[in-house]
Amino acid sequence: MNSLRIKGIIYRHLYLFKNSLERVTDSFYWPAVDIVLWGLTSQYIQKSSGNIPGIILIFLSGLIFWQVVWRGQYEITVNFLEEVWNQNVVKV
């Protein structure tokens, strides 16, 4: 592996990231909104009634972590698809 090629790919993605509001919102804004939304919902459920089964809070925590996994998968897939569309797939 050539370190210059790796740096080139990193710089290319950072440049596209810097100039695209869609990438910024997909990477930072929506995950933050999801965490705040589900966090406030779980806090409300926890404080509103003391005898809610723990399974509901576990379910809400699972939804938060699923969003993290889904966003990671989404970013990888979209970036790879963009590389294929632009015919920039790195040859080994």
What residue ranges do the domains of the chain occupy? 3-85
Q: Which residues of the chain have pLDDT under 70?
A: 49-52, 89-92
How far apart (Å, rounded) are the C-alpha atoms in residues 72 and 53? Answer: 30
Q: Cα–chain-centroid distance for residue 81?
A: 16
Given this model, what pLDDT does residue 23 score? 78
Given this model, what pLDDT does residue 56 score? 74
Given this model, what pLDDT does residue 7 score? 87
Which among 56, 37, 33 has a CA at the least distance from the CA of 46? 56
38, 63 contact by CB (below 8 A): yes
Given this model, what pLDDT does residue 92 score? 55
Given this model, what pLDDT does residue 48 score? 73
67, 37 contact by CB (below 8 A): no
Given this model, what pLDDT does residue 52 score? 67
Query: pLDDT tens across 12-31, in order?
Result: 778 877 887 887 777 778 77
pTM value surpassing 0.85: no
How far apart (Å, rounded) are the C-alpha atoms in residues 87 and 57? Answer: 45
